[in-house]
């Protein structure tokens, strides 16, 4: 990211992949761009799943994930992962406005510190 907070186009292009014939960005990369943990991003999406039909987002299959790992270096993903990443199409990425993510981030961290929403 540059000093003015703008992400260079080359950095964005490097995290766009062609999967199932669609250009997609993966949940761990989007989480990094939003400066949140991948699990927070996925939780936010699951809480608002009606916004994300299959042509906006899908979870990679085991084969797709293994193929992707063999093609690129995914050092930040470490060894084995519990869950396969989600792939977001351009429309899916557009459904992730910053305010939506920030709200979910605050909710997730608030709960961790005992300040989250209480159940009725």
pLDDT value at 113 more than 80? no
Mean pLDDT of 51-75: 84
Q: How confident is the model at residue 5 (pLDDT cuts 50, 70, 90)?
A: low
DSSP string, the chain: --TTSPPPHHHHHTTEEEETTEEEEEHHHHHHHHTS-HHHHHHHHHHTGGG--TTTEEEPPHHHHHHHHHHS--GGG-S--SSPPEEE-HHHHHT--HHHHHHHHHHHHHHHTT-SPPP-
Q: Does residue 68 belong to any structural domain of this protein?
A: yes
**pTM here?**
0.73
Mean pLDDT score across all residues of the chain: 78
Q: Does residue 66 belong to any structural domain of this protein?
A: yes
Query: To the nearest whole percent, how much of the chain has pLDDT over 90?
Result: 28
pLDDT value at 114 more than 60? no
Q: Does residue 96 belong to any structural domain of this protein?
A: yes
* pLDDT for position 119: 43
* pLDDT for position 90: 93
Q: Does residue 1 belong to any structural domain of this protein?
A: no
Q: Does residue 79 belong to any structural domain of this protein?
A: yes
Q: Does residue 101 belong to any structural domain of this protein?
A: yes
Range of the domain at 37: 9-107
Q: Does residue 98 belong to any structural domain of this protein?
A: yes
Mean pLDDT of 21-48: 89
Count of structural domains, the chain: 1
């Amino acid at each position: 990211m540059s000093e003015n907070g703008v992400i260079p186009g080359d950095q964005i292009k490097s995290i766009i992949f062609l999967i199932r014939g669609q250009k997609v960005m993966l949940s761990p990369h989007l989480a990094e761009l939003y400066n949140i943990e991948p699990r927070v991003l996925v939780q936010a999406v699951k809480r608002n799943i009606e916004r994300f039909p299959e042509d906006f987002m899908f979870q990679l299959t085991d084969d797709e994930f293994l193929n992707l790992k063999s093609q690129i270096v995914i050092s930040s993903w470490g060894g084995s992962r519990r869950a396969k990443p989600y792939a977001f199409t351009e429309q899916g990425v557009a459904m992730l406005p910053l305010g939506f993510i920030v709200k979910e981030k605050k909710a997730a961290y608030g709960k961790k510190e005992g300040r989250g929403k209480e159940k009725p």
